[in-house]
Amino acid sequence: MLLQKTIKNFTQNPKNDILSGLTVALALVPEAVAFAFVAGIDPLVGLYGAFMMGIVTALFGGRPGMISGATGAMAVVMIHLIQKGNEVGDALATPVENLGLQWLFITLLFVGAIQILAGVFKLGKFVRLIPHPVMMGFVNGLAIVIFLSQLGLFKENVDGTSQFMTGTTLWTMLGLVALTMGIMFGLPKLTKKVPAALIAIVIVACVTIFGGLDVSTVGSFIKDGGGEGLQGGLPTFQDQIFTLFYTLKGHFWELILPTAFILAAVGLIESLMTLNLIDEMTETRGSGNRECVAQGGANILNGLFGGMGGCAMIGQSIINVNSGGRGRLSGATAAIALLCFVLFGAPLIEQIPIAALVGVMFMVVIGTFAWSSFRILHKIPLADAFVLIAVSAITVWQDLAIAVISGVIMSALVFAWKNATMIRARKSIKDDGTKVYSIWGPLFFGSVQNFNSKFDAKNDPDKVEIDFMESKISDHSGVEAIRNLANKYMELNKEIKLVHLSPDCKTLLLKWNPEFEKVIEEAIDDPRYHVVTDILDNDI
């Protein structure tokens, strides 16, 4: 069954997948190179990382059509590790050149192991707990980040310093960006048989090459960053990392392992968020747990064969999906094409103008940003609007992982506060003088104080009944509140009965104190309670 599904994902629409994959590969080149520069390593390490991440996740990942590669979110985390490693390497009795890079490869082995364990223990499903305002804030913030990252490409090297373009150079750049965006906007209205992004890149490249325009290209971008070019060989096995474990002495627990956990968390959050977004765009469903395992395997491969590691890339994934790439073949094509560029096509790829790639990414920004958020901002609850804006701002200010975690925490606190104020107690008196408290609403840590305030143990009659038909005890705090309340009545020698308690709450109470068996009413006379109990038992 799995084999048939995999074959279907490869043969469903091969033409679109191949053309889309080539488009993505072209966009991957400057991204991988730029992120390698951010981390302070050789551009080829970034390209190798993008290739290995791309091929493994394309073949074995949980989301056909999603693109993985070297990413800025992970590159930023790597900076301190690499710098510290280089410092240690220079200070050794026998200096080790680029020790920071070797430490990165070692760290990636642990990153991969952590991510695989996350998949094995099925932690990928927790992405479903991310509220919609957090998702909207995430895509808006990410669109802004992508836009801001492209502004750096409007700089040129003048007398050894990087300055923003001016005059004719700037206007030429803007014109080529506008031409790229115009083609991508207009071509789909004429035909959707070919990816608009790929055609736009080819046309703009031809204009600059045959027009003899002096513009910034992929090749000049690499050289301005200190690289020597795209040309390289196949990734090689990094056997030296196993002989360098001795250099980790004193740094493993304080640097390597914490960095591995941060990289693993950032990678998984970005990948699972991207998976969720692509699910919505394609109206299909991927497997978060399978993606965790694939991401982990790809990062281990990067550590063993000299790549910088990475995770899912939302910009390239959107380019791929919008260009018609929905199957695994698109991701595999992008990865293989990227490697072919390094092996055989470097001189040609280096001639592609940066303006064409900037135009493609600007169209991604327009497609990524949730413009509907402006329309609904005043219609949704104030707390949700605050979360949406806060997540967008934190994504730009810090990074994606911190923004998503912060958004989930804020949403959870808002939810807890709202539910804490929902608990009610309807009071009535039976014919025999028994006072009945009918509880409505969830009883959990946030509502315990309100729950306790509903009772007047001293002034209540000798017989009290607490009915939990419309309430559910959700956590240990709720159980503890019931225990304390029952003890308070019993200490006053008043008879208390707890009716319609759920089976799990009964079990918890009896574990605490077997004497509770005297106050729990077992006789159930409400048919709704039997239904709920049956459902709970089936779920368990």
Cβ atoms of 482 and 454 closer than 8 Å: no
- The token pair at 236 is 């090689």
pLDDT of 540 strictly over 50: no
pLDDT at residue 535, rounded to an integer: 37
Q: What is the pLDDT of residues 203-251, one digit of tens each?
A: 999 999 999 888 888 888 777 766 666 777 899 999 999 999 888 888 8
Q: What pLDDT band is residue 6 in, cutting at 50, 70 and 90?
A: low
Rounded Cα distance, 42 and 232, in Å: 11
pLDDT at residue 108, rounded to an integer: 97
pLDDT at residue 227, rounded to an integer: 64
Give phi and psi for 496, each to the nearest 5: -125, 140
**DSSP string over 65-116:** T--EE--HHHHHHHHHHHHHHHHHHHHSSS--TTHHHHHHHHHHHHHHHHHH
Mean per-residue pLDDT over the chain, rounded: 85
pLDDT at residue 339, rounded to an integer: 93
Q: What is the pLDDT of residues 253-268, one digit of tens each?
A: 889 999 999 899 889 9
Rounded Cα distance, 99 and 512, in Å: 56
Nearest to 312 by CA among 264, 270, 279, 364: 270
pLDDT at residue 322, rounded to an integer: 86
Q: Indicate the pairing of strand 155-158 with strand 161-164.
A: antiparallel
Helices (H), 191-325: 196-210, 218-224, 257-282, 288-305, 314-322
pLDDT at residue 11, rounded to an integer: 56
Q: Quick one: DSSP state of residue 256?
A: I
Rounded Cα distance, 230 and 454, in Å: 72
Q: Quick one: DSSP state of residue 285?
A: -
Residue 10: Cβ within 10 Å count = 17
CATH class of 422-539: alpha beta
Question: Among residues of the chain, what percentage have pLDDT more than 90?
Answer: 31
Q: What is the pLDDT of residues 262-287, one digit of tens each?
A: 899 889 988 988 898 898 888 888 89
Higher-pLDDT residue of 368, 353: 353
Q: What is the pLDDT of residues 392-433, one digit of tens each?
A: 998 888 777 788 888 889 998 888 888 777 888 899 998 888
Give phi and psi for 381, each to the nearest 5: -55, 150
Domain boundaries, the chain: 16-390, 422-539
Burial class (CB in 10 A: 0-12, 13-18, 19+), 456: exposed
Query: What type of residue is 295?
Result: Q
Can you give the pTM of this predicted structure? 0.72
Q: What is the mean pLDDT of residues 371-378?
A: 86
Q: What pLDDT band is residue 154 in, cutting at 50, 70 and 90?
A: confident
pLDDT at residue 527, rounded to an integer: 45
Q: What pLDDT band is residue 171 in, cutting at 50, 70 and 90?
A: very high
Q: What is the mean pLDDT of residues 279-298?
A: 91
User: Of 45-59, 352-366, 469-483, 526-540, which one has max mean pLDDT?
Assistant: 45-59
pLDDT of 528 strictly over 50: no
In the block, residue with structure tokens 């329309």: 375
| Separation of first and last alpha carbons in the chain | 29
Q: What is the pLDDT of residues 27-38, one digit of tens each?
A: 888 778 777 877
Q: What pLDDT band is residue 336 in, cutting at 50, 70 and 90?
A: very high
pLDDT at residue 417, rounded to an integer: 84
Higher-pLDDT residue of 107, 123: 107
Q: Give the SS3 label for residue 373.
A: helix
Spacing of C-alpha 417 from chain mean position = 26
- The token pair at 182 is 């115009």
Q: What is the mean pLDDT of residues 290-306?
A: 96
Q: What pLDDT band is residue 113 in, cutting at 50, 70 and 90?
A: very high
- Of the given ranges (109-123, 173-187, 483-497), which has the lowest mean pLDDT? 483-497
Spacing of C-alpha 473 from chain mean position = 32
Q: What is the mean pLDDT of residues 473-499?
A: 86
pLDDT of 296 strictly over 80: yes
Residue 390: Cβ within 10 Å count = 18
